Structure 1
Amino acid sequence: MAELYNEYSNYLKEKYGEKVYKLPINIPCTCPNRDGSIGYGGCTFCADIGTGFESLDNSLDVKEQIKINMDYIKKKYKAKKFIAYFQNYTNTYLELEVFKSYIKESIVDDIVEISISTRPDCISEDYLIFLDSVKKEHNVNISIELGLQTVNYHTLISINRGHTLSEFIDAVLRIKKYNFEICAHVILNLPGDDIVDTIETAKVLTVLKIDQVKIHSLYIMENTVMGILYKNKEITVITKDEYVERVITFLEYLQDDITVQRLVGRAPEENSLFVNWGISWWKIKDDILDKMKERGRYQGSKVKTQADM
């Protein structure tokens, strides 16, 4: 391929004809591995605020959050098109009518897509049918972001995800019936995972024909189970160079038409015990791309097609 990897920003420009910005939306919800439904405490790496540290407070209604963020980005970047991104916790882990009301609030001018972050074990037909009606009635695209993190079920158990790979596969097959785009979230440096897990995760996403992937680098927060393990030296984090190698290897085994939203995560430094080896996320991204160029490595280069077999 001409590019080193299939970058999300380029994909959005091609799809919508111009640069599109995501607007994070924070609604009051939780996760089934937090509230006792299937477990307590949530994922071992997840703090009380979840992952929505860049979001506005969920006491603001959806329309107000959209307006504040949209006005700011329009003024700063002259943007015209936006994605309403329900980001934090498990957004389909709500009563259906409550979920519907939040989604309906997000249907405003200049929103071209609604993106919903959730867990693979919280995908049910009623919610998908409703989202399909929204797509058809309002001519707005729908995408679902599923937290997988890894295909290694031992690691999934150790981080208290409360689901394994089978639920992820089931969710993907359910969603694909409605032609919604699917983005899988993965963390490539979870304690317990190795390069074999990295490769297998990419292979599974390729076989499932996932539309997009978002690669995270693990960050460790105070007041989390993983934070306690880290401070007690019961877990370690791989080096930055090892992470860079895992990302490149992951991309090599990932089909080249899968869009990559992110190569490395960001996190607040406040209350953090470990974030990106103390290096700016963009420097790590540059390092990944520089090494790919130097070594002639690119997305999809190790994917075996039917013709290769």
Structure 2
Amino acid sequence: MRLAEGKRYNDYSSHLAEKFGGKVYKLPVNIPGTCPNRDGVLGHGGCIFCDEEGSGFECLPNTLTVREQIRENKKFFMKRFHAQKFIAYFQAFTNTYLPFDRFCSNMREAVEDEDIIGISVSTRPDCINDAYLDFAASLQRERNLAIDIELGLQTVNYHTLQKINRGHGLAEFIDAVLRIKQRGFAVVSHIILNLPWDDETDVIENAKILSALGVDYVKLHSLYIVKRTVLGDMYSRGEFKVISLEEYVRRVVTFLEYLDPAIVIQRLVGKGPQGNMYFCNWDTSWWKIKQLIEETMERLDTKQGAKFDYLNGKALFAGKLVER
């Protein structure tokens, strides 16, 4: 797939407008929960960078029901952006780690609103199970929904995955992607390109693995460091340094160059929670970092997929044994 004329990367807002015929907004839903890496099933404490809110710091309180959160968020987006179509986004914690009946009821409650045209479910690769996927597939057929599953991978470097206490390796991610794809759902992969133990080789390998697996969307995050976390304690003791903003921009550009141009980029840089932080985005607004990335791609005259030439037997093409 080629990028549209004049585009440097396959951006999410344009993709949604093309797919649904207009602007679509995600409505975050915050469900009380945990993950197997917190409650003792796989480990305790969670990932070394994770705080107690489980990535749900932008959500409404989880004391509200799914129905109430959908209603309140929808009201806000309709008033501010004149939005008409929405995706229910189960954002915080590990949503497929809930008991099966609870997972099903949450999903059904989210689609009671007729303006909900899709569901996005955030979870871990080791919490993907056929029973949950089969229910989602039946709901998709019943309501003609667009469903995607967001997998927090962070890096394909399984040594780094162990260091950050993810509780799973690369194999679980590959298995999850294959099972999700079997049901026809889209896969969103979350990647952090500036983990302390990763280098440019890992940046490139991230792009290659995601491309080879055919994921549909990517969310890039810059690492933020919260006080009173394991990572925060390591940072305060001077055990690692965060790469510069210039290096982060360079890594993002490199990642995009090796990424299949068919993959849609939902985010180039993440937002961290306010307050209680040692480090977040080099004290620079996320939109400014996004602008720097886009300006760098323009200056280098490069684009997503510029180096996407490594699948389908690269050596055969290089050796002129077959023609492209």
Q: TM (normalized to structure 2)? A: 0.94
Separation of aligned partners in 2, 1:116 and 1:294: 37
Matched, 1:298 2:303: yes
Amino acid of the structure 2 residue aligned with 1:249: T
Gaps of 5+ in 2: 318-324
**Counterpart amino acid of 2:45?**
G
Q: Separation in 1 of the partners of 2:141 and 2:274?
A: 42
Q: 1:166-212: per-residue Cα shift (whole Å, max 9, x none)? A: 00000000111100000000000011000100000000000001100
Partner residue, 1:237: 242
**Alignment partner of 1:85 is 2:98:** no
- Residue identity (%): 55
In 2, the alpha carbon distance for the partners of 1:292 and 1:284 equals 13
Q: Which residue of 1 aligns with 2:23?
A: 19
* Distance in 2, Cα, partners of 1:94 & 1:295: 46
Deviation, structure 1 residue 223 = 1.3
Question: What is the deviation of 1:29?
Answer: 1.1
How far apart, CA to CA, are the structure 1 residues paired with 2:282 and 2:11? 24
Q: Secondary structure at the match of 2:80?
A: helix
2:125 aligned with 1:103, yes or no?
A: no
Shift of 1:269: 2.7
Quote the residue 2:199 is aligned against: 194
SS at match of 1:92: helix
Matched pairs, number: 309
* Aligned mates of 1:148, 1:268 — CA distance in 2: 20
Partner of 1:57, secondary structure, is coil
Give, in angstroms, the shift of residue 300 of structure 1. 0.4
For residue 46 of structure 2, what is the aligned residue in structure 1? 42
Tell me how far apart the structure 2 counterparts of residues 155 and 93 of structure 1 sit (CA, whole Å): 23
| AA in 1 matched with 2:41 | S
Does 2:120 align with 1:115? yes
Deviation at 1:267, TM superposition (A): 1.1
Corresponding residue number in structure 1 for 2:13: 9
Among 39, 56, 63, the alignment partner of 1:52 is 56
- 2:320 matched to which residue of 1? none
1:306, CA displacement in angstroms? 3.6
Q: CA deviation at 1:22?
A: 0.5
Shift of 1:222: 1.1
Matched, 1:168 2:192: no
The answer for the alignment partner of 2:281 in structure 1 is 276
- SS of equivalent to 1:55: coil
Return the alpha-carbon distance in structure 1 between the equivalents of residues 292 and 102 of structure 2: 44
Superposed CA RMSD: 0.9
Q: CA deviation at 1:236?
A: 1.2
Q: What corresponds to 2:184 in structure 1?
A: 179
Provide the rounded CA distance (Å) in 2 between the counterparts of 1:208 and 1:299.
17
Residue type of the alignment partner of 1:46: C
Paired AA for residue 141 in structure 1: A
**For 1:27 and 1:245, how far apart are their aligned partners in 2?**
36
Runs of 4+ in 1 over 3 A off after TM superposition: 305-308
What is the aligned partner in structure 2 of residue 252 from structure 1?
257
Deviation at 1:307, TM superposition (A): 8.1
SS at match of 2:27: strand
Whole-angstrom distance in 2 between the partners of 1:175 and 1:291: 35
Instruction: Quote the Cα distance in structure 2 between the aligned partners of 1:165 and 1:146.
Output: 12
Partner of 1:142 in structure 2?
Answer: 147
